Amino acid sequence: MKEQTREHQLVMAAKGGDEDAFAALVRLYEKRVFALAVRMCGSREDAAEAAQEAFLAAWQGLSFFRGDASFSTWLYRLTSNACVDLLRREGRHRSAAGPSLDDEGLSLDVPDTALSPQDEAERQELREAIDRGLAALSPEHRQILILREMHQLSYDEIAEALSLDAGTVKSRISRARRQLRNFLLKDGNFSPPAASKATGKEG
């Protein structure tokens, strides 16, 4: 609650033209914005460009920020839109995978714990497969899946961030998950639980 109050104070001051307050907001969110941009763009150089564009758009548009959604949700929208614009502009379809993508029948857990060389190689192979699968999605489907699965935004938060209705968000996430699952099945890096042979794990 204290952090939200502090954020609100900074936003109000920044809306009044306080550059130091906006700089504090940038410091507060720059790591999360950059992480989102890296996953969307697939390259640190592109992510840095998109993040810079997002913060510039935030500064220029702050007077229009009404506060209906949280500042972070608004900033996620600016960041993801900047990434989509960059991908379209450059004709790029690259992406970087996050730690996990979970769905009914799709469980891709890639924990960051200490692993044996064999396990590490398998984890890297899975990451690369997810990379390829996400890169095969349209920017819009990649955008919405990353916001949901990697940044853990709720359906309502995504709807607010992307100016979509809840039904569109749910159907787009479902379609993106299905496309990614189908890609991984064809790629040979994932088998549905019912079809896979027992590994000794439940479920």
Which CATH architecture fits 1-94?
Orthogonal Bundle (1.10)
What residues in the chain have per-residue pLDDT under 70? Answer: 1-3, 90-115, 119, 150, 187-203
pLDDT at 104: 39
State CA 157 to chain mean position distance.
13
pLDDT at 6: 83
Contact 137, 40 (CB under 8 A): no
- pTM beyond 0.85: the answer is no
106 CB-contact burial (10 Å; exposed 0-12 / middle 13-18 / buried 19+): middle
pLDDT at 51: 93
CA separation for the pair 168, 176 (Å, rounded): 12
pLDDT at 93: 45
pLDDT at 106: 41
- Listed by start position, the domains of the chain span 1-94, 97-193
Read off the pLDDT of residues 81-121 as tens digits, 9 standing for 90 and up.
Answer: 888 888 777 665 444 434 344 443 343 344 454 557 776 77
* Gyration radius of the chain over CA positions: 19
CA 92, 190, 182 angle in degrees (round to 5)? 55
Contact 185, 191 (CB under 8 A): yes
Would you tell me which CATH number, out of the four given (1.20.140.10, 3.40.50.300, 1.10.10.10, 1.20.1300.10), belongs to the domain 97-193?
A: 1.10.10.10
Spatial CB neighbours of 84, under 8 Å, sequence gap ≥ 6? 40, 139, 140, 143
pLDDT at 59: 92
pLDDT at 190: 56
